[in-house]
Structure 1
Amino acid sequence: MQYRRFGKTNLRLSVFSLGTMRYLADVENAQQTIAQALALGINHLETARGYGKSEEYLGQAIKSGLLKSRSQFYITTKIPPTANADSMRRCIWESLERLNLDYLDCLGIHGLNTWEHLEWVQAKNGCMAAVQEAVADGRVRHVGFSTHGSLEVIQAAINTDFFEFVNLHYYYFFQRNAPAIQLATEKDMGIFIISPADKGGRLYTPPQSLKDLCQPFSPLELNYRFLLNDSRITTLSVGPANPNELIEPLQVANSDIELTPTEISVFERLENHQKTILGTDKCSQCYACLPCPENINIPEVLRLRNLAVAYDMTNYGKYRYGMFENAGHWFGGMKANRCTECGDCLPRCPENLDIPALLEDTHERLNGKAGRRLWG
C-alpha cells in the first residue's frame, strides 16, 4: 500500500480509503470489512451522518478494540451543511458519540452542492461557526467538504479558503472537474476521489465491448491507474459491501508509477474508438449550451449518451440518468424529455450538434426505472 500526504492536513493517507456506505448488511459484516481493510494497509476510514448505521457500526468497531492504536488510523465523517450553527453543534456531538471518539481527524461538510449551501457556509452564524468551535477545542482536527455540485460551485467553495481537503467526482470517463483538482492543488488541499468504481462508470460490471477495448487491462484497473498516476490526488474511495470486494481494487494499491506505454496506447484506443463511433454526434463537454431554460443538464445527459453509444455503457447510463428528478441537489437537472425544442442552446454549441434530437435519442435509450441515492 502506498501512502500520500493529504494536502495541508499533513496526514499520510493510504491511496485507497475505506468508504463505509455499503458495508451495512449487519454489524458483523461491517467489522469483518473494516478488519480486512486494515490488514491490507488502509489507514483512512470515511463515513457520514447520512450513511444509515455506518457511524454506529464503525463506533462499535472502535469500542471493541478492532482499531487498536488511535495514532495508526484516521477517521473522517461528513455532516450536511446547515443554515445555523446550533444544528451543526448538535450534529458534531452526535457523530462523535456514535463513533465512540473524542475527536475527528477530519470533518467534511457533506454535499456542498448549491449556491445556497455556500451561503450557509459563509454566513456569520452559519454551520462553519460551530465547526470552527470544534476545531478550537480539539474535537475536530481538519475540515474539508464533499461535493456533487457544479464546477463553478466547487471552485467557489475552494476559494473560500475555509477548507483543507475536498472530496469530489473525477474519473477517466468524467474529467469536468479537472480545473477544481488544479485549484485545490494550488491551495495545497488534500484531494479525495469519490466512488471511482461506481460513479466512475460501474466499472466492476463493465460491458463486454468495453472490456475488449481495455485489454490487456480491466476497465476498473485502468481507471484506478488514470487516477493514481496523478500525484495531485491523495486517495480513492473504495466502498465494498463485504470484505471480499476489497481484493481486486487493492491489487493496484502499489501502482503509482507513471503510465506505461501499453496503458497510454489503451487510453488512445478508447479515445479513437469514441471519435469513430460517435462521429459528428460527439459532445465534447464544453458546457457552452448551459443554462437550459428547462433546467436540463444537457452536457451530463449527452455524456451518458457518449458512453452508451461508444462503449455500450448503457446500464451505467440508465443508472445515472434515472437519478435526474429523483435525487434533489445531489444530481440536479431535469430529464431530456423536458426539452421544448426552443433552440436556445443551438447557436451556442461550437460543434453545431442537433441537441434536441440527441436529447430525445438519449431519453429513448436510457429512460427506465427511477433512481435515488442509497441514503436519501
Structure 2
Amino acid sequence: MHYRRFGKTNLWLSVFSLGTMRCLAGESNAEENIQHAIANGINHLETARSYGKSEPYLGNILKKLPLPREQLTITTKLPPTPDSQVMDQWIDESLERLQLDYLDCLAIHGINTWEHLTWVESPRGCMQAIQDALAEGRIRHLGFSTHAPLEVILAAIQTNLFEFINLHYYYVFQRHAPAVALANQKDMGVFIISPADKGGRLYTPPAKLVELCYPFSPLELNYRFLLSDRRITTLSVGPANPQELDAPLAVADQDGSLTPQEIEVFSRLETQAETALGTDRCSQCYQCLPCPEMINIPEVLRLRNLAVAYDMTDYGTYRYGMFENAGHWFAGVKGNRCTSCGDCLPRCPEQLDIPGLLADTHQRLNGSPRRRLWG
C-alpha cells in the first residue's frame, strides 16, 4: 500500500480509502471488511450520516481495533443546511454514533446546487457551527463532496473554505479535470468517489471492453489512470465483502506513471470510440446547454457513447435510470423529454442531430427507474 499527502490537511492517506456505504449486510460483515482493509494498509475509513447504520456500526468496530486511534483517519459526511443549530446537532450526533471525541475530517455531503453553496457561504448557515467545531477540536479538517455541475464545483473550491474535495472523475468521465487542477492549485486533497461503480460498473465489464483492455482488466486500467495522476490522493472502494478488495489491493503499490503498454491500451480505446461512433460522437463540450426541457444532454450522450463504443449498456441503463429519480444527486430528465425545439443545434460544434441521438439513447437505455441507495 502506498500513501499520499492529503493536501493542506497534511494527513497521509492510503491510496485507497474504505467507503462504508455498502457495508450494510450487518455489523459482522462491516467488521470483516474493515479488519481486512486495515490489515492490508488502508488507513482511511469514510462514512456518512445518510448511510443507514454505517456510523454506529463503525463506532462499535473502532472500539475493537487493536491499533491506536491516531493511526486511522475517520471521515464522515453531513448534508448542507441553512441552519447552523441543525449542523451543530448533527456533528454531535455523528460523534456520538461513532463513539469518537473528534472527527479527523468532516465533508459537507453534496454541495450539488448553487443553493447549497449559498447555505455554506451564508454567515447564518452551517459554516458557523462547523467553524465552532473546528475551533473546539471536534473536527480537525473540512472538505466537501459533490455531484454538482462543474461550475458549482469550481465556485465551491474558490471559496477557500475547504481542505479537500470528494468528486467524480474517471477515464470514462473527465469533465471534472478542471476541478482536479484547481483543487491541486489550492493544495486541497482530492478523493475520487466510486471509481469501480460510477466509473463504469467495472467489476462486471462487458466482453468487448474486456477484450479492448487486454492484458489489463478494465477496473485495473481505470485505477491506474487515476493513480498515475499525482494530484489525486486517494480512491474510494466500497466492498460488499472482503473479496471485493482484492482488485484495488493488487494495484495499491502501482502508482507510478502510465507504462507504454497502458498508454497503448488507452489509445486503442480512443480509436475504438472514434471508429464505432463516427460522426455521431459527442465530444462532451457542454455547449448544447442549457436545455429548456432540463435534459442533461452531454451526460445522456456520454452514456450513449459508452454503450455504442464499448457495449457498456448495463452501465448506461443503470445511470440513465437515475434521471428523474435521484433529485440533485443526478440532475436532469430523460432524453424522451426532448421536444425538438432546436435550441441546442446551432451551439453544437459537431453539428450532431441531438434530438435524434437523445431518442436513440432513450430506446437503448431506458430500463427500470433507479434511486440512490441513500439520501
TM exceeding 0.5? yes
Q: What are the Cα deviations for residues 256-310 of structure 1, in whole angstroms up to 9, with x where unaligned? A: 1111100000000000000000000000000000000000000000000000000
Q: CA deviation at 1:314?
A: 0.1
1:48 aligns with 2:48: yes
Q: CA deviation at 1:246?
A: 0.8
Q: What are the Cα deviations for residues 2-45 of structure 1, in whole angstroms up to 9, with x where unaligned? A: 00000000000000000000011000011111000000100000
- How many aligned positions are there? 375
Q: CA deviation at 1:249?
A: 1.5
Q: 1:47 to 1:67 in 2, by over 3 A?
A: farther
Q: CA deviation at 1:67?
A: 5.3
1:202 aligns with 2:175: no
Q: What are the Cα deviations for residues 88-112 of structure 1, in whole angstroms up to 9, with x where unaligned? A: 0010000000000000000000000
1:311 aligns with 2:307: no
Give runs of ≥4 in structure 1 deviating > 3 Å. none
TM-score by length of 2: 0.99
What SS does structure 1 have at the residue aligned with 2:141?
strand
1:11 aligns with 2:11: yes
Q: Tell me, in whole angstroms, the C-alpha distance in 2 between the residues paired with 1:252 and 1:130.
A: 40
1:27 aligns with 2:9: no
Match of 1:240 in 2: 239
Match of 2:81 in 1: 82
Match of 2:39 in 1: 39
Q: Which amino acid aligns with 1:30?
A: A
Match of 1:348 in 2: 347
Q: Tell me, in whole angstroms, the C-alpha distance in 2 between the residues paired with 1:249 and 1:75.
A: 20
In the TM superposition, 1:271-290 aligns within 5 A as 271-290=270-289
In the TM superposition, 1:172-321 aligns within 5 A as 172-321=171-320
In the TM superposition, 1:152-171 aligns within 5 A as 152-171=151-170
Q: Tell me, in whole angstroms, the C-alpha distance in 2 between the residues paired with 1:74 and 1:356.
A: 48
In the TM superposition, 1:128-167 aligns within 5 A as 128-167=127-166
Conserved? CA contact 1:9–1:142, under 8 Å? yes
Q: Tell me, in whole angstroms, the C-alpha distance in 2 between the residues paired with 1:89 and 1:26.
A: 29
What SS does structure 1 have at the residue aligned with 2:75?
strand
- Structure 1 unaligned regions, length at least 5: none
What SS does structure 1 have at the residue aligned with 2:29?
helix
Q: CA deviation at 1:250?
A: 1.0
What SS does structure 2 have at the residue aligned with 1:303?
helix
Conserved? CA contact 1:61–1:67, under 8 Å? no
Q: 1:135 to 1:334 in 2, by over 3 A?
A: same
Q: Tell me, in whole angstroms, the C-alpha distance in 2 between the residues paired with 1:314 and 1:58.
A: 35
Q: Tell me, in whole angstroms, the C-alpha distance in 1 between the residues paired with 2:71 and 2:2.
A: 15
What SS does structure 2 have at the residue aligned with 1:226?
helix
Q: CA deviation at 1:68?
A: 2.7
Q: Which amino acid aligns with 2:18?
A: L
Conserved? CA contact 1:190–1:233, under 8 Å? yes
Q: What are the Cα deviations for residues 205-255 of structure 1, in whole angstroms up to 9, with x where unaligned? A: 000000000000000000000000000000000000011111122100000
Conserved? CA contact 1:67–1:73, under 8 Å? no
TM-score by length of 1: 0.99
Q: What are the Cα deviations for residues 167-207 of structure 1, in whole angstroms up to 9, with x where unaligned? A: 00000000000000000000000000000000000000000
In the TM superposition, 1:68-79 aligns within 5 A as 68-79=67-78
What SS does structure 1 have at the residue aligned with 2:85?
helix
In the TM superposition, 1:115-134 aligns within 5 A as 115-134=114-133
Q: Which amino acid aligns with 1:261?
A: P
Q: CA deviation at 1:154?
A: 0.3
Q: Tell me, in whole angstroms, the C-alpha distance in 1 between the residues paired with 2:91 and 2:269.
A: 45
Conserved? CA contact 1:289–1:298, under 8 Å? yes
In the TM superposition, 1:108-119 aligns within 5 A as 108-119=107-118
Q: Which amino acid aligns with 1:28?
A: S
Q: Which amino acid aligns with 1:363?
A: H
